[in-house]
Amino acid sequence: MNGALDAVSLPKGTTTIGKTFDFEAGHLLPDLPSGHKCSRQHGHSYQVEVVLTASTLEAPGFVTDFGALSPFKMFLDTELDHRNLHEILPCAPTSENLARFLAGWFIQHLQPDIPGRLVAVRVRETERSWARFDVEEQ
């Protein structure tokens, strides 16, 4: 090995990763006043980012192998993509509620089987509008 590189002391800390997924869906928010544009049916090209962290890395140096997140993508594709979210979600389909719901799904279905801890889920419904749900440390 290179002596100069071997002399680097690795600091303690946490490593954070993120992966972005996307899906298309429609929704409306019927509890808004009738004149509000979001009370009418409309759609978004959603982007969902999951953020995970770990204080130690799994071999060969991963927080979580990105491939281990494929069940989350499958859930988005089969359950949410090209659906009316207000018809299938157990909450009003705001970006805020969607981020929290997806965090709950991730923790319940993926987190027990993967290294790393979910830190946050960010839902972007437009280029300029997003909501982030930060998971309290468990």
At 37-57, the pLDDT tens digits run: 877 789 999 999 999 999 999
pLDDT of amino acid 87: 95
Superfamily assignment of 12-134 in CATH? 6-pyruvoyl tetrahydropterin synthase/QueD (3.30.479.10)
Q: Which residue has the higher pLDDT, 115 or 31?
A: 115
- pTM for the full predicted model: 0.91
Active site residue 125: yes
The domain limits of the chain are: 12-134
DSSP-derived 3-state class of residue 44: strand
Tell me the per-residue pLDDT of 93-128, one tens digit each, with 9 for 90 and over: 999 999 999 999 999 999 999 999 999 999 999 999
Residue 1 confidence (pLDDT): 55
Does 44 participate in catalysis according to the annotation? Answer: no
Q: Which of 42, 82, 91, 109 is catalytic?
A: 82
Give the model's pLDDT for residue 29. 86
Task: Write down the catalytic residue from 38, 49, 58, 86.
Answer: 38
Of 117, 113, 132, 126, nearest in space to 49 by CA: 132
- Quick check: is 38 catalytic? yes
Q: What is the pLDDT of residue 40?
A: 77
Q: Are 63 and 57 in contact (CB under 8 A)?
A: yes
Cβ 26 vs Cβ 42: under 8 Å: yes
pLDDT at position 3, please?
A: 67
Q: What percent of the chain has pLDDT over 90?
A: 79
Specify the pLDDT at position 72.
Answer: 98
d(CA 95, CA 124): 7
